[in-house]
Amino acid sequence: MRKQIAESITRMTKKGNEAKPTEDEKMKPNYSKIRQYILAAIRTDDDCESLTDKECFEHVRQRFNSEYGFNLGKRGLSNQAVFAQWLAGLAINIAFMNNDIIKLAKRWGSLPANGTERQKERIIENYFSFMAMQFFKFARREGLELID
């Protein structure tokens, strides 16, 4: 990461050169698609088809706190990390196989179609943490905190 930043700075400071973003810098996730995916997963997995978006996130909040909330504050992990562990246990019907995760990342714009192996590895390594962060963010937009 530091090397990429240094390369970006070098490109920007070279006389007469306009800084051109690298492929990584161009890739920005489509958060609307991610939100739709998460809500679809909640509605499908928990038979919450008729719930509003806010009610879906409230349902997840209640499930998480009853099923896994006892882990909060333990092991020195952040609330988001504990939530990511809960997601990794397949609590919600989201992708969990590496190939499916890569397909999602490409569809969401987080990974170029010709992504390198290292980029794919980083996406897979961070997937559940990324998804936890999105759950937290989207719940907050609905006026909810996922953690009691």
Domain ranges in the chain are 28-141
Distance CA 42, CA 51 (A): 10
The structure's pTM equals: 0.78
Q: What integer pLDDT is reported at residue 111 of this predicted model?
A: 94
pLDDT in tens, 28-60: 788 999 999 999 999 986 578 889 999 999 999
The residue type of 59 is H
Q: What integer pLDDT is reported at residue 26 of this predicted model?
A: 53
Which tokens is 27 given? 């890739």
* Cα distances (Å, whole numbers) of residue 37 to 78, 107, 115, 130, 138: 24, 11, 22, 13, 12
pLDDT in tens, 97-112: 999 999 999 999 999 9
Note whether 13 and 27 are within 8 A (CB): no
Question: Which one has a higher pLDDT value, 146 or 130?
Answer: 130
Indicate the DSSP class of residue 74.
Answer: S
Q: What is the mean pLDDT of residues 83-101?
A: 96
